Chain A
Amino acid sequence: MSAPLVQVQDLAKVFDVSAPWLNRVIDRKPRQFVHAVDGVSFSIERGKTLALVGESGCGKSTVARLLVGLYGPTRGNVKFDGIDAMSLDPAQTRTLRRRMQMIFQDPYASLNPRWKVLDIVAEPIREHGLVTDDGQQRARVAELLGSVGLAAADAEKFPHQFSGGQRQRISIARALATQPEFLVCDEPTSALDVSVQAQVLNIMKDLQRQRGLTYLFISHNLAVVRHVSDQVGVMYLGRLVELADKADLFGRPRHPYTRMLLDAIPDIHMTGRARTPVQGEVPNPLSPPSGCAFHPRCPHANARCSSERPVLKTIGGIQIACHAVEEGRIN
């Protein structure tokens, strides 16, 4: 096995969500912090897909933004192809950025409505000075549009002339413009209808096969994750609770939260099946529970779970953060 392309070590991001200084003084309120991502570690093999799943507020999008450098981490580091991405000077960072790109969730918000598709897709090429000749740029844009199933003539149109699925393809074409090795996809199909989602997922899989791309795929939809990923990480309140190969995670989920998530998915072929409704809701990240963050909702919680925070350990070939599994209380 070759060295992983992306290695993330103990990544953390803390956001300061305190009230303004004057309000804090008047109301005698302390500063407040949200630990959006708290000690996340994983690695992704070249040409593979790691999916991060979790409910809103679990920090999965923050991880995506940390990886591509849209946020600076509070702690931890990211290694890309063996290079420590956190200790580079600006020029080297720029070179590195060329090798990783991001696809955003909302194709209506991530394309500039005043720009032609040509300018949108050519922007990364121009920004990195990859192709300077105007004619060659056009040819490159046409080729990129072709690779995502759009026509070369579409380059002269504006984003509003396209449907949601087509816009997401433009985003993919833009992300591919610098010939990156690593794509971070933050809920790329959540805003799309199912039949269009199928088109976009198929394109993404085809591109991965043709170009050997590595994906970090962020989603809350477990069925989609099962379809695209090789490895799956489940996040809860800023931490990874389980990280396993797709077959293990879906075939034999270990962590109680993973089981709960899998239980909550409606199954379209077993009509009328009663599923166990999940208890409780995600706690407020401003005041997360002590010990294991999941313990107030967990059917297997005991005194240790509410006082001691479990760390991610390798148990039986998968990585899991759960006292109950570690002690063999549940299998």
Chain B
Amino acid sequence: MSATPLLEVKNLRVEFPTRHGTLLALDDISFDIAPGEILGVVGESGAGKSLTGASIIGLLDPPGRIAGGEIRLAGQRIDNLPYEAMRKIRGRQIGAIFQDPLTSLNPLYTIGRQLTETICTHLPVSEDEARTRAIKLLQETGIQAAEQRIDQYPHQFSGGMRQRVVIALALAAEPKLIVADEPTTALDVSIQAQIISLLKRLCKDHGAAVMLVTHDMGVIAETCDRVAVMYAGRIAEIGPVGDVINRPSHPYTVGLMGSIPVMDEDRERLAQIDGAMPRLNAIPRGCAFNPRCPKVFDRCKSERPNLLDAGVTRAACWLVDKR
């Protein structure tokens, strides 16, 4: 891994002040992304994976706010920038892909206009050059007859095609980092595979690093270099994708992997983790996973584990410390 990470997130805390007290949605999140690397962020709903993405692109919905820690992009702090400065970074240096391709495109503008607008905002090019570039991007994403389709509206595209347009849009200004939040969740399986391989190929060609947020472990396994498993607003385990999947250290990761029905083996029963992830206002003391953990012991109920070295991966679990 290269010496300077592209993105550094250090001790990030995100809070939501509510009438009934402040909820801590992200608690002490730290990770790096190297240039060109694909980091997967996986977890169940409410684990905080999308919030992590939103914090990085500066689109945290109020009243959510960053209460501590820092986010650095290529060495520069971006978590405390004023709105206008962040707007310049977003699109130019960080591209974003969201779950629903229908809502991330403006239905009233042709896709050509949306693409050229993005290109002209961030790059010093003329309108004509921007259009040429837009057509080239659409061709790269596998849209046939791009010269004609560029003047069509989003509703004239199918779901998979729209997501291709959104990827073109995210790559339009050659950003160094793409934050992709559940890019394939709204798509059918056969289209999912197309979009994932496209995203992977284009980011490699353009040298962009990707933070891929998803709940689909299969997508992570196929796409990512490293993966961070999140639970109740914290990272439970982080490491190279093969090690996290095949040799997980954290009991939550073990349970998560066991609960996924897989194609290559027959299981009579799926491993199940009893209970559900705690709500933000009722996160237990100590390790947040302790009430559901099959290997819980005294220390887990009182002391909160930080990420510890567990061989190849790093896991927030006291079991690792005992060894």
**What residues make up the interface of A, taking CB atoms closer than 8 Å to B?**
55-56, 163-166, 193-199, 201-202, 205, 220-224, 226-227, 250, 260-275, 277-278, 281-282
CB neighbours (8 Å) of A226 from chain B are 261, 263
Least Cβ–Cβ distance between A65 and chain B, in angstroms: 20
B264 at the interface (CB under 8 A from A): yes
Q: Are A281 and B160 in contact (CB under 8 A)?
A: yes
Contact residues of B between 183 and 242, Cβ < 8 Å to A: 188-194, 196-198, 215-222, 241-242
Q: Contact at A281–B242, with CB atoms within 8 Å?
A: no
Contacts of A275 in B (CB 8 A): 193, 197, 222
8 examples of A-B residue contacts, CB within 8 angstroms: A194-B44, A195-B255, A198-B260, A223-B262, A223-B263, A261-B190, A262-B263, A277-B193
Query: Chain A residues near B276 (CB, 8 Å)?
Result: 163, 165-166, 196
A39 to B269, CA, bound (A): 35
Other than the given A272-B222, A281-B158, 14 more pairs (CB < 8 A) read: A193-B45, A194-B44, A194-B215, A195-B44, A195-B256, A199-B274, A201-B261, A262-B263, A265-B218, A265-B263, A270-B221, A281-B160, A281-B190, A282-B190
Q: Are B190 and A260 in contact (CB under 8 A)?
A: yes
Of A193, A220, A223, A266, the residue contacting B44 (CB under 8 A) is: A193
Given the complex, which residues of B lie within 8 Å of A163, measured CB to CB?
276
Chain A residue at smallest Cβ distance from B224: A271
Q: Closest CB-CB distance, A18 to chain B, in whole Å?
A: 20
For residue B322, CB closer than 8 A to chain A, the reply is no
Q: Does B259 interact with chain A (Cβ within 8 Å)?
A: yes
What is the bound-complex CA distance between A275 and B194, given in angstroms? 10
Please give me the residue from chain A that is nearest to B274 by CB atom.
A199
Q: Mask for B3-26, Cβ within 8 A of A = 1, else 0?
A: 000000000000000000000000
Q: Give complex CA distance A163, B272 in Å.
A: 16
Q: State the Cβ distance, A163 to closest chain B Cβ, in Å.
A: 5
B215 nearest in chain A by CB position: A193
Q: Are A266 and B193 in contact (CB under 8 A)?
A: yes
B196, closest chain A residue (CB): A266
> In chain B between 236 and 284, which residues have their CB closer than 8 angstroms to a CB of chain A?
241-242, 245-246, 255-264, 267-274, 276
Instruction: Specify the main secondary structure of chain B where it touches its partner.
Output: helix
Q: Is the CB of B272 within 8 A of A195?
A: yes
Q: Which of B44, B190, B256 contacts A264 (CB 8 A)?
A: B190
- The total number of A-B Cβ pairs within 8 Å is 127
Q: Look across to chain B and name the residue whose beta carbon is closest to the beta carbon of A284.
A: B158
Residue contact A222 to B193, C-beta cutoff 8 Å: no
Assembled-state Cα–Cα distance A163/B279 (Å) = 10
Contact partner of A271 (CB less than 8 A), chosen from B161, B193, B241, B270, is B241
Complex formed: what's the CA distance from A253 to B117 in Å?
47
- Beta-carbon contact of A195 and B273 below 8 Å: yes
Is B221 touching A271 in the complex (CB atoms < 8 A)? yes
With both beta carbons as reference points, the residue of chain A lying nearest to B42 in the complex is identified as A194
What chain B residues lie within 8 Å of A260 (beta carbons)? 190
- Known contacts A198-B272, A264-B190, A277-B194; A269/B222 CB under 8 A: no
A264–B197 CA distance with the chains assembled, in angstroms:
11
Q: Most chain-B CB neighbours within 10 Å: which of A164, A198, A221?
A: A198
Q: Are A223 and B188 in contact, CB atoms less than 8 angstroms apart? A: no
Chain A residues within 8 Å of B271, by CB: 198
Identify which of A227, A271, A274 contacts B261 (C-beta below 8 A): A227
CB distance from A135 to the nearest CB of B (A): 31
B262–A269 CB distance below 8 A: yes
Determine if A202 and B270 form an interchain contact, defined as CB atoms under 8 angstroms apart: yes
Q: Does A261 contact B189, Cβ atoms closer than 8 Å?
A: yes
Given contacts A195-B272, A271-B245, contact A55 B190 (CB under 8 A): yes
The distance from the CB of A32 to the nearest CB of chain B, in whole angstroms, is 18
Smallest distance from the beta carbon of B225 to chain A beta carbons, Å? 10
Question: Which B residues lie within 8 Å of A166 (CB)?
Answer: 276
Name the one of A56, A164, A250 contacting B263, with C-beta atoms under 8 angstroms: A250
Measured CA separation A204–B204 after assembly (Å):
43
Assess whether B45 is in contact with A277, with CB atoms less than 8 Å apart: no
Among residues of A, the one whose C-beta sits closest to the C-beta of B223 is: A266
CB <8 Å contact, A267 and B189:
no
Within 8 Å by CB of A201, from B191, B218, B258, B270, lies: B270
Q: Are A194 and B222 in contact (CB under 8 A)?
A: no
How far apart are the CA atoms of A281 and B162 in the complex, in Å?
12
**Nearest chain A CB to B224 CB, angstrom units:** 9
Considering residues B197, B218, B263, which has the most beta carbons from chain A within 10 angstroms of its beta carbon?
A: B263
Bound complex: CA A260 to CA B267 (Å): 24
**Quick one: which of B189, B269, B274 contacts A265, CB cutoff 8 A?**
B189
Measured CA separation A32–B41 after assembly (Å):
45
Measured in the bound complex, the distance between the Cα atoms of B219 and A273 in whole Å is: 11
A194–B245 CB distance below 8 A = no
